[in-house]
Structure 1
Amino acid sequence: MAGWRQAVELAMTDDEIETLTALSRSRTEPARRVSRVAMLLAYRENPSFFAVGQRLGAHHQTVQRCVE
Structure 2
Amino acid sequence: MRLIARTTFASEEARRAVHILLVSNVSQSYFSQQLAYEQLRIARETLKKIMNSPMLSLSNSS
Same fold (TM over 0.5): no
Normalised TM-score (structure 1): 0.26
Higher Cα Rg, which structure? 2
Structure holding more helix per residue: 2
Which protein, 1 or 2, shows the higher relative CO under an 8 Å CA cutoff with sep ≥ 6?
1
TM-score by length of 2: 0.28
